[in-house]
């Protein structure tokens, strides 16, 4: 149980990472959704900044390797007494994400540290509140209040993403759409692109820190893809997987940037 909360904390607090939103659809339009935080580079940079690593004269010990999946329903059954003893907000959060799972893949020697939060869905309708569920998973750690304070009260906050947009997914026999709805006023929307001041030394420092970070969407369908609205999107050789990628800063400036419309081949 404690290990689960630690993993949630890592997914929340290590914000200088690459984020991949993956959806794999089966023939029945069921499938798997997975939001993965790839934090290998962030961990490496943090270790170097803190003076980590070994000198050439030291013998390097083999790093930790882990590849595991944790299903919340199984955890709740195994640790039902501990779950029952949780504060009410944490217990309700656990209940809300019972059908979800977490993955962790780590190889210290290879600089890999990936944490995923996912859902096996029966229908695309199951994804209508997926963002809220992911936030509930993240809220399970003991650092949630500190994270909110950091987002609201520090210069780093605006680089950590926003809670002001909702993503909806639509799929028909002819195609697929990912649509972002901004829950802000028109005036707030107009000012989003001005959030980052390249003349401000603090902003410049953080922008450099996030320079290599990106947001990536990977969509796999049971049908071949005819066209994609996203500029620069890549289609796999078998024609069934679409990959869309943008820098993290560009995504923060305009979350609608990652909206995409896919048209299927008429077979």
Residue 67, token pair as written in the block? 């590849």
Assess if residue 239 is contained within a domain.
no
* Residue 67 included in any domain: yes
Whether the per-residue pLDDT at 89 is higher than 70: the answer is: yes
In 3D space, the residue among 219, 245, 220 whose CA is nearest the CA of residue 232 turns out to be 245
Closest CA to 20 of 106, 107, 114: 114
Q: Is the pLDDT of residue 41 over 80?
A: no
Q: Determine the structural domain holding residue 142 and report its residue range.
A: 2-152
pLDDT at 36 over 60: yes
Dihedral of CA 211/235/221/264: which sign?
positive
In this predicted structure, which of 116-120, 158-162, 209-213, 233-237 has the lowest mean pLDDT? 158-162
Predicted pLDDT at 64: 81
For the residues 21-50, what does the mean pLDDT come to?
Answer: 80
Domain count, the chain: 1
Give domain status of residue 229, yes or no: no
Q: Minimum mean pLDDT among 186-190, 205-209, 248-252: which range?
A: 186-190
Q: Give per-residue pLDDT as tens, 45-82.
A: 555 555 555 444 455 577 788 899 999 999 999 999 99
pTM: 0.80
State the DSSP string of the chain.
-HHHHHHHHHHHH--SSEEEEEEEE-TTS-EEEEEEEE-HHHHHHHHHHTT-S--TTSPPPPPPEEEEEEEHHHHHHHTHHHHHTS-HHHHHHHHHTTTEEEEEEEETTTTEEEEEEEEEESSGGGGTTHHHHHHHHHHTSTTHHHHHHHHHHSTTGGGS--SSEEEEEEE-SSEEEEEEEE-S-HHHHHHGGGSS-TTSHHHHHHHHHTTT-EEEEEEE-SS-EEEE-STT-EE-TTS-EEEEEEEHHHHHH-GGGG-EEEEE---
Q: Specify if 97 maps to a domain.
A: yes
């Amino acid at each position: 149980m404690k290990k689960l909360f630690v993993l949630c904390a890592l997914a929340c607090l290590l914000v200088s990472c690459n984020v991949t939103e993956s959806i794999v659809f089966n023939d029945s339009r069921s499938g798997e959704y997975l939001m993965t935080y790839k934090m290998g580079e962030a961990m490496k940079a943090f270790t170097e900044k803190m003076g980590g690593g070994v000198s050439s004269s030291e013998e390097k010990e083999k790093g930790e390797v882990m590849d595991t999946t944790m299903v919340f329903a199984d955890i709740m059954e195994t640790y039902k007494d501990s779950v029952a003893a949780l504060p009410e907000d944490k217990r309700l959060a656990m209940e809300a994400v019972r059908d979800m799972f977490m993955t962790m893949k780590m190889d210290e020697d290879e600089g890999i540290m990936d944490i995923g939060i996912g859902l096996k869905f029966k229908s695309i309708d199951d994804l209508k509140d997926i963002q809220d569920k992911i936030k509930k998973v993240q809220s399970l750690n003991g650092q949630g209040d500190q994270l909110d304070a950091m987002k609201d009260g520090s210069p780093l906050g605006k680089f950590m993403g926003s809670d002001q947009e909702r993503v909806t997914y639509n799929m028909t026999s002819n195609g697929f759409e990912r649509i972002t709805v901004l829950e802000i006023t028109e005036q707030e929307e107009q000012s989003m692109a001005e959030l980052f001041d390249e003349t401000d030394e603090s902003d410049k420092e953080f922008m450099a820190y996030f320079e290599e970070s990106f947001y990536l969407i990977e969509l796999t369908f049971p049908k071949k893809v005819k066209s994609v609205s996203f500029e620069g999107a890549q289609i796999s050789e078998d024609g069934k997987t679409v990959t869309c990628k943008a820098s993290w800063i560009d995504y923060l400036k305009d979350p609608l940037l990652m909206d995409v419309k896919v048209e299927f081949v008429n077979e």
